[in-house]
Amino acid sequence: MLLTILVAPIGAAAADFQTRLDRAGIPYLVPQDGKAILVNIPAFELIAFEDGRPVLRSRVIVGTPWNRTPRLQTFVSAVRFRPTWRPTPSMIASGEHRDRIWPPGERNPLGLAAVRLAPGLLVYLHDTNHRELFAEENRALSHGCVRVEQWQALVSFVLDMDLADVNRLANGRRTFDSPAPPIPVELGYYTRFVDELGRVVAYPDIYRLGASSDLPTGQTVDDTASCEVASAVD
């Protein structure tokens, strides 16, 4: 995957993150009050913001070009610790998985925790049982959901919980949902964005959206994804 640096860092004395985006003509509006989460699909990255500042950046795995992660705006509803999982009918038909319920644990495709979004939305931000794939350069590898490398830090951010408590619950014996505040979440598609060094970087158009890339905040595209957690068991 070829990344192109378009603009060098603007320096420590420059203005805030939003100003950097504005100067580069990137149509993402960072919420200036409270928490927010952005998954930038072409960058394979999740960014958590608090009061306008990025406080967490994590590698992610997104949907393949034929099982796209949908572009949308939503919100966090809960965190499920130690989820169970059942493959979707399409996965079973393809021979990819047997029709069985996968119990909680390290071998579960959802990993040890999943951040649930708006009720009825079958796209999660979750751990994985294949963490080695975060080392891949092209991470468009999932069935549509978003696998998060730093899932413990994300859960800590969402629930305002110590990492020690996150790990204790994730490695416990109970499967349960912990209610979460409705933190805004955007699954966005920005082929240019500001990286952790303050540089404006161009990313490959992995879904070949062309002119529809860099979707402004507030606009939603109904991309259909066959999400790998569409049959997560309650």
**Cα–chain center distance at 231:** 19
- Domain 4-212, CATH: 2.40.440.10
pLDDT at 164 over 90: yes
Locate the domains of the chain by residue range.
4-212
Task: For strands 146-148 and 53-63, give the pairing.
Answer: antiparallel
For residues 100 and 152, which has the higher predicted lDDT (pLDDT)? 152
Q: How confident is the model at residue 100 (pLDDT cuts 50, 70, 90)?
A: confident
Q: What is the mean pLDDT of residues 218-230?
A: 41
Q: How confident is the model at residue 103 (pLDDT cuts 50, 70, 90)?
A: confident
User: Contact, 41 vs 206, CB < 8 A?
Assistant: yes
DSSP 139-192: -EEESSSEEETTHHHHHHHHHT--HHHHHHHHTSS--EEEE----EEEEE--SE
Q: What is the mean pLDDT of residues 140-146?
A: 94
Whole-angstrom CA distances from 50 to 35, 54, 160, 182 are: 4, 6, 12, 14
Q: What is the mean pLDDT of residues 206-234?
A: 52
The residues annotated as belonging to the active site are 126, 145
Task: For strands 184-188 and 35-40, give the pairing.
Answer: parallel
pLDDT value for 1: 54
pLDDT at 79 over 90: yes
pLDDT value for 94: 72
pTM of the predicted structure, to 2 decimals: 0.85
Q: Cβ atoms within 10 A of the Cβ of 6, count?
A: 11
Checking phi first, is residue 131 left (phi over 0); if not, alpha (psi -120 to 50) or beta?
Answer: alpha
Structural tokens at position 223: 């991309």
